[in-house]
Structure formats: structure tokens, C-alpha cells
Structure 1
Amino acid sequence: MKSTINFGYLIFLSVVAALGGFLFGYDTAVISGTIAQVTHLFQLDTLQQGWYVGCALVGSIVGVLFAGILSDKLGRRLTMLIAAVLFSTSALGCAVCLDFTQLVVCRIIGGIGIGVVSIVSPLYISEIAVTQYRGRLVSLYQLAVTVGFLGAYLVNYQLLAWSESGGQLGVFWLNKIFISEVWRAMLGMAVLPAIFFFIIIFFIPESPRWLIVKGQEQKAGDILQKIYNSVVEATNQLNETKSVLTSVDKSNWSMLLQPGILKAVIIGVCIAILGQFMGVNAVLYYGPSIFEKAGLSGGDSLFYQVLVGLVNTLTTVLALIIIDRVGRKKLVYYGVSGMIVALVLIGSYFLFGESRGISSLFLLVFFLFYIFCCAISICAVVFVLLSEMYPTKIRGLAMSIAGFALWIGTYLIGQLTPWMLQNLTPAGTFLLFAAMCIPYILIVWKLIPETAGKSLEEIERYWTRSE
């Protein structure tokens, strides 16, 4: 089958869907370069500042709740179009907003877009991918997220340098957006990839598996034939998907409560929420302030941020290359074991390192090692697993439930990390993160099958037969 696959077409479809991940990453990370300016301009108190940072997360939780239902009802393609509109509206609104309330509303709209693409983009890639390359193709989404993070850091850096160079644009509103209130440009630049995402979606087809669910077999067959470059392989895939669907005569919600499927959903919720309590976002969001507390120069925080983003991106490229060869479970075993070591080292540094005069640069090395282990394992694997664990008929709905748990975990860790750093001390916080890695490994080891090399239909049969 390998020789018949239309790789160029398959990669094109996957890259287009993965652009949603770039917007996710950019919209999430860009906020870091705007907080000080927005706080000064609108005279925000600490609660308002927290609301400015967290309001997009509220939108993400709303978006993820509806993303699965929308994608199951309207289709994966149309749902991605809706997300592109949300991102464009948010970026433009942030650039021209008149007051803080309008800014928050626009950030919430962008957050809804984040929640939607976090479900539908990896879901679409999973459903159009051929079995033996599904892991690396879905990992393109996570790679796009990390590129979005890095892109936001670099854009923030460049726009800030430009605004401080003393140049003027002549036109009042351009001068306001790009010079005097440059945070508007930082947030607004997302409109360019968002519009591109909107336009290019019109050049990709609907997910063939969704079309089969909706009884549009002719359209599905045409798309599959274009992917496989073979009428025989396309027909085989069509028949395999149909055979799974015809064995299911339950409604979406009753199917969700079927013992095997319910087990898969609960496992998905557990790995989604546990992944947040292993320190991923705590390191990404609070890393610079932790560096400063350890004695590293505050003026270098943006450089450290870019360095973390670069390691994250390059490691995700490596994970993308090896995920289908090594397998999902082995990547988790190796990566999470490394995370435990890194987190214990970070905790030990805060316990003993400062008092013994050990250079704080060692802390930076431990952080970068942690990011490497995290990016090559749970960050690369989680969206792959969630996009392939569930039956086609309820994949969107089940992913929304797991995605909701992921965003709740993200919200909780964002709120709790400052409290933990203060009350548990940095050492206690990172040792707690290390302890939370253990149940994650046990769940993957004991409860999740290896999905590399298996078709979505084979994976579905595993769960539906599991009582």
C-alpha cells in the first residue's frame, strides 16, 4: 500500500488543518508580551490583570465544549472555518478596541477559537491519515502549536524593538497600533495567518469518515481514492469504516455510556488532566519568574522564553519523526521518566543548590531537559491518542469531553501554581509535579493499548469489545 499513497496530497491536508494549531500557539503565547503595556494603559489592578490573562482560557473552555458537537453535526471542515472566523474577529478586535471591556471580549472570542481547533484540527488529521503515518501526521498539529509559541515570542520581540526605535508611520491609527500602543499590533498580527487559514480551508475536502457517517459514501470514496491513489484501497477503507458503523445502532449519548467506550473516555479525561499537573504549563507560563527567583537576570527573561520555545519546537520535530516507529507508549515511558528526573533535579536545586553556591545556569539546563522530555512524550502523544481512541460516530463528542478536562486542568494549574510556589516552596512544587508523573505512566502502561500501526477501525473494535 505504501507505494500507492498520495503523500503530497495527504501532507497538504494535514498541514492545512495543523495551521489551526499555529493559531492556537500564537494566540496563547502572544499575551506574555502585552501584559505590562495593557496593565499600564488601562491602569489594571491585580484582579483585572489576572482576568486579562485568563479570559481567553474561559473562552477555550466554552469552545472545547461545543467543538465536538459542532464537528459531529456540521462536519470537521466547516467547524475549522468557524474557528478561522473567530481568530480573525478576535485579532482585529484586539487591534482596534476602544477600552478594556472590548479587549476582554475579543480575547474571549479568540479563546473560543483556541478551544475549537484544539479538538477539530487533530481530529480531522487523524481521520484523513493512513494508518502507518497517522502518528506523525497528527503530531504536525502539536508541532504547529510550538511554532506558534515561538512565532509569538519572536513577533513580540521584533515589534517591541521596532516601536522603541523612534520611527513614526505618519498615519495616526497605524502609529497608534504599531508604535505608541504596540501591544495592539502584537495581538492583531494573528489576523494574517487566520485569514490565510480561512481561505485555504476551501481547498481541502471534508473528512471521508465523517461523510461515511452521514451516508455520503460517494463523496467519501472519491476523497479516499485521491488519498490512496487506488480504487481497491479506497474501497477497502470505505467498507471497513462502514462495517464498524453498521454494527452500532445506538444514539451518540447511549454509545458514549457503553462500558468499553465509557472506559476509553474516562482514561482520556485522566491523561488529559494529569498531563497538566505534571508541570507542563507551569514551566511554560511561570518559567521566567522562576528563573528570576533563582538569580538569573530578569532582563534576559525574553531570551530564556525564546530558548525554551526553540527547544520545544525542535524536540517536537524529533517526536514527529519517531512517533510511528517507536510507538506512543514507549515515548511516554522514556519521556515521562526523563521528566521525573528533571523535576527532581529542579526541586533538589531549590532545596540545596542555592545554599551551596551552585550556579543558577544549572537550573536553566534542568528546565531545558524537562522541556525536551515533555515535548518528545506527552505533548506529542496526547493529541494523537485522543484523536484516535474513540469511535468515528462519537469522536468529536468524546474528544470534547477529554479536551474539556484538559482545559480545566490548564486553568487549575494556572491558578494554583503561584499559590504552590509560595506555600509549598519551589522545591515542594516541582517534587509534587514529579510525583504526579507516576500515575500517568501507570495509566498508559496498564489501560491504554499501543495504537501505532492500527487503523482507527481496529482501535474502535478494541474499545467496543472491552467490557
Structure 2
Amino acid sequence: MNTKVSVMQLTSVVALGGLLFGYDTAVISGATDALQNYFQLTSTELGFAASSALIGCVVGAILSGVTSSRWGRRGALILAAILFLISAIGSAIPDDYWTFVIYRIIGGIGVGLASMVSPMYIAEVSPPDRRGGLVACNQFAIIFGMLVVYFVNYGIALLGTETWLYNTGWRYMFASETIPAGFFLIFLYFIPETPRWLAMKGRDNEAHYLLKALNSGRNIDSQWKDIKDSLKDKSRVSIAASGFMGVLVIGIMLSVLQQVTGINVFLYYAPTILKGFSSSSIDIALLQTILVGAVNLTFTVIAIITVDKFGRRPLMMIGATLMALSMFAIGTAAYMNAIGGYLLIFVLLYIAAFALSLGPVVWVLLSEIFPNKIRSKALSIAVFAQWIANFAVSQTFPMMNDHDSMIYQSFNGGFPFWFYGAMGVFTVFFIYRWVPETKGRSLEELEQLWDKQHHQSSDVVAHH
């Protein structure tokens, strides 16, 4: 078996979970105006329609730890694929607001599962020197899914008049997800479990064989020993008792900061925001949204190429700095009533910086920093926090951007962008102060790094 081909094949299949993550979360961006018109929604109801899937994402994140530990990484992804299919069909047929919301929540559960399990699976089958780039492929798939659905939405919008789009066209947008979801479900039946999950379940022969196949031409003795050593303690202990509470806090903070720097404001509400920047029609705004997706994809590819070369910290700090500057510029332009098409430059700079840094690299870090014996549980908690933050941002932005709100009138629409910019500045400080460099180390070597730091801090406390 060719090592490179085998690892890439597994990554390609599992990254379809990422593609559906992006597809499902962004499909609503082209339908927000239609939904508001069809269901006669207030700005708060529209915010909930757009963010209702995130309730499911939170539920999916909670379930992902238990599901991926009990049924395996592959089993959890199969469940996610089934939920994507149900949601795609159900979201396309409702005639009332709450039925639509329920099916969006079901899809969100699938997203929550895939968002945690896909990068974890890829991390657990990847060689240390390629892990960053391979896990970042999942982020590429997320962005690719978003870009594909932007094209799909734009194409559907061109099929008829605006009246047709508002009455019927939006249903085709949601139904289109059945195609990638069906392929994902089929392909998952042809991939194995991860070596580390098999080892956790005592299936050592299968685990060793698969690890050897994935590392063809390499000596896996030391890696296998590290895996077995990391799983020696069979007792079920809480994360706090395991001594890894500090790394969990770092994981949670990285998850939250990825969201509160404002990315999903542009991904979910891009057509609405871009229409506000100029007098463009909805079709032009959707076309500009495709440009946003293309920039996102291009710079994610650059991150994939560079994350194992330059490391996680430099990319994160440079990217967060550019994101903050872009948000401050957009907020200031709004406050000074200097809105214009030129702001698309700052939107694209922000998207490029995110795609180079917080987008892929946070997922890389989350997939690799947690020890084997608590990875499922800790990663599910971190991803749960991420979806809570995502929901909060997605729910509050339409309210802050409502022209009748006190916040909007006080700051002329600039406040939310200034807030996201301030969070970008804090992100730079947090990474500089608390996030270590992880490139080129095996998952078990990183576990030893955290274990060493824990003992050092314990010694300091004991000394004082």
C-alpha cells in the first residue's frame, strides 16, 4: 500500500464531512432575503432562522465525544451523513417557519458531529510531519463546500425572477445538499477506523497493522510504544483529575476566539452586508459572495502549504493582526458614514487573513493538543464552546445591525465591527502568551509536553 495515497484517500473521504459542514452552514446565506419574505420574519426571527442550525451544532458537539468514543470515529461520521440527508430534504419542503427550523437543527447536529470528528480522524491517521497540512485540508473542504454552495445559490437565483426565488427557488438551495451528503454516506463504508481508536478498544492487531500501512517504509515501533503507553491507564478519570485542565482551557479559548473575531458574520450574512456597502442588487451581492469564497479558498491552500513549514503560532498571530485591522477599518467607515464599494477590499483582506490563520490552524491545534485518553471528551467540549460562540455571534449581529436598534443609531453601524477587531487584538496576545508551537511532533510527544508543563506548574505551586 502506498502510504501517501492511503493517507490522502482517507483524508479526502473524511474531509467530505468538512465540505458538508461548509455547505450546510452557508447554504442559508443565499436564502435569507427569501426566507424573510416567505415567512414574513422580523430581524430577530431572521437571525434565529439563520442561526437555528447552530443549536443543532451545539447538540452535535456534545454528542460527538460519546459517539466517537463508543461507535468509533467512522461510526460518528456515518451518523452525521444520515442527519445531513434528512435535513437537506426536510429544509426544502416546509410551509411553516418552525418546521423549517426543526430540520435546520437536525442538519446542525450533523455539522456538530462532523466538525469535531473529521479533523480528529485525520489527525489520528496522519504522520507527524504532515499532520498540520492534512488536518487543514478539512478546513479547505469546509471553505470549498461554502464556495460550491455560493455558486449553487447564485445559479438557482438566475433560474427565475425574484418573486420565483422568494416563493420556490430557495427550496432548491436546501435540497441541493442531498447530492454531497449521499456521496459522503457511501464513501464512509469503504474506510477503516483510526489506529488510536482501535488501540483504545484493545484491538491491538488491527491497530498495529493499520498504523504500519499508513506509515509504509517507516519504523513505527516507537510510535506504537508511545500510543500504548498513553493508553496504559485504563481508569476513567475526569479531565481535571487527569492533569490536563490547562490544555482544555487553551482549546476552549482558541475555539471561542475563532468565532468572536467575527468570521461567520461575513459567511452567513455576506449578501446582506455587501448590499449595504453599495446599491448593488441581490444578484450582484451573491456574485461578490462568490468572490469572498474564492479568496477564502485560495488562502486556505496557502495555509495548508505553510502550516507545517512555518508553524502554527506565526500564521495565527499575523492573521489575527490583519483581521483586527480590517474590522477596525470597516467599523470606522460605517461610523463616519463613508460606506462604499471600496470596503470590499477590507472584507477580502479579513477573509484572506482568517483563511491563512484562525480558520485552518485552530482546527489543526484542536485536533492535536489533547492526549489520547481524553481526546474525544476534551475536543467535544472545545467544539461545544465554539458552537456556543458561533450561535451568540450569529444571533446578535442582525440585532446590532438593525437600523432601529440603539447600538446601531449610537455608532452608525460601526460597533459590531469594532468589537470583532478588539477580539482580534486579544487573540494575538493570547496566542503569544499561552499557545505553544506544535509542528512536527507526534500526538504522543505533545501529550508528554503538556504532562511536563503540568508537573512543572505543580512543582512551582508545591514550592510556594
TM-score, L = length of structure 1? 0.90
Q: Aligned-pair RMSD on alpha carbons?
A: 2.3
Correspondence for 1:430: 417
Match of 1:199 among 175, 186, 196: 186
1:457 and 1:57 map into 2 onto residues whose CA distance is 33
Match of 1:386 among 354, 357, 366: 366
Match of 1:366 among 340, 343, 346: 346
Question: Deviations along 1:199-234, whole A, 9 cap, x unmatched?
Answer: 11111110101111111110111111211124x623
2:323 and 2:94 map into 1 onto residues whose CA distance is 42
Kept in 2, the 8 Å contact 1:221–1:235? The answer is no
How far does residue 83 in structure 1 lie from its aligned partner after superposition?
0.3
Correspondence for 1:121: 118
Correspondence for 1:103: 100
How far does residue 296 in structure 1 lie from its aligned partner after superposition?
4.3
Letter in 2 for 1:236: S
Q: Which runs of 5+ in 2 are unaligned?
A: 402-407, 455-464
How far does residue 47 in structure 1 lie from its aligned partner after superposition?
4.8
1:161 and 1:282 map into 2 onto residues whose CA distance is 25
Kept in 2, the 8 Å contact 1:220–1:238? The answer is no
Letter in 2 for 1:430: F
Is residue 278 from structure 1 mapped to residue 264 from structure 2 by the alignment? Answer: no
Question: Deviations along 1:226-245, whole A, 9 cap, x unmatched?
Answer: 11124x62343222211222
Is residue 318 from structure 1 mapped to residue 302 from structure 2 by the alignment? Answer: yes
Kept in 1, the 8 Å contact 2:123–2:135? The answer is yes
Letter in 1 for 2:177: A
Kept in 2, the 8 Å contact 1:72–1:394? The answer is no
Letter in 2 for 1:238: W
Question: Deviations along 1:161-180, whole A, 9 cap, x unmatched?
Answer: 224599xxxxxxxxx9x997
Match of 1:445 among 432, 442, 455: 432
Letter in 1 for 2:343: L
Equivalent position SS for 1:386: helix
How far does residue 303 in structure 1 lie from its aligned partner after superposition?
1.6
Moved more, 321-330 or 157-166: 157-166
Equivalent position SS for 2:193: coil
1:436 and 1:46 map into 2 onto residues whose CA distance is 25
Correspondence for 1:465: 452
Moved more, 207-216 or 271-280: 271-280
TM-score, L = length of structure 2? 0.90
How far does residue 109 in structure 1 lie from its aligned partner after superposition?
0.8
Alignment of 1:30-429 (within 5 A): 30-97=27-94, 99-164=96-161, 181-230=168-217, 233-246=219-232, 248-253=233-238, 256-258=239-241, 260-299=243-282, 300-352=284-336, 354=338, 360-421=340-401, 422=408, 423-429=410-416
2:24 and 2:389 map into 1 onto residues whose CA distance is 19
Equivalent position SS for 2:196: helix
Letter in 2 for 1:399: L
How far does residue 440 in structure 1 lie from its aligned partner after superposition?
1.5
Kept in 1, the 8 Å contact 2:136–2:364? The answer is yes
Equivalent position SS for 2:436: coil
Question: Deviations along 1:184-207, whole A, 9 cap, x unmatched?
Answer: 221111111111111111111101
Question: Deviations along 1:377-428, whole A, 9 cap, x unmatched?
Answer: 1111111100101011111110111111111111111122234441544333
Is residue 15 from structure 1 mapped to residue 12 from structure 2 by the alignment? Answer: yes
How far does residue 48 in structure 1 lie from its aligned partner after superposition?
4.2
How far does residue 353 in structure 1 lie from its aligned partner after superposition?
6.9
1:397 and 1:154 map into 2 onto residues whose CA distance is 37
2:262 and 2:44 map into 1 onto residues whose CA distance is 24
How far does residue 97 in structure 1 lie from its aligned partner after superposition?
4.0
Q: For the structure 1 residues 295 and 93, does the alpha-carbon distance in structure 2 shift closer, same or farther, using more than 3 Å as the test?
A: closer
Kept in 2, the 8 Å contact 1:95–1:185? The answer is yes
% identity of equivalent residues:
37
Correspondence for 1:173: none
1:101 and 1:282 map into 2 onto residues whose CA distance is 23
Moved more, 24-33 or 47-56: 47-56
Question: Deviations along 1:331-390, whole A, 9 cap, x unmatched?
Answer: 012111222222232233334472xxxx82321111111111111011111111001010
1:209 and 1:271 map into 2 onto residues whose CA distance is 24
Letter in 2 for 1:66: L
1:430 and 1:117 map into 2 onto residues whose CA distance is 29
Moved more, 89-98 or 14-23: 89-98
2:272 and 2:93 map into 1 onto residues whose CA distance is 30
2:24 and 2:431 map into 1 onto residues whose CA distance is 30
Correspondence for 2:457: none
Kept in 2, the 8 Å contact 1:162–1:179? The answer is no
Letter in 1 for 2:348: L
Q: For the structure 1 residues 361 and 18, does the alpha-carbon distance in structure 2 shift closer, same or farther, using more than 3 Å as the test?
A: same
How far does residue 263 in structure 1 lie from its aligned partner after superposition?
0.4
Equivalent position SS for 2:441: coil
1:282 and 1:112 map into 2 onto residues whose CA distance is 21
Q: For the structure 1 residues 291 and 100, does the alpha-carbon distance in structure 2 shift closer, same or farther, using more than 3 Å as the test?
A: closer
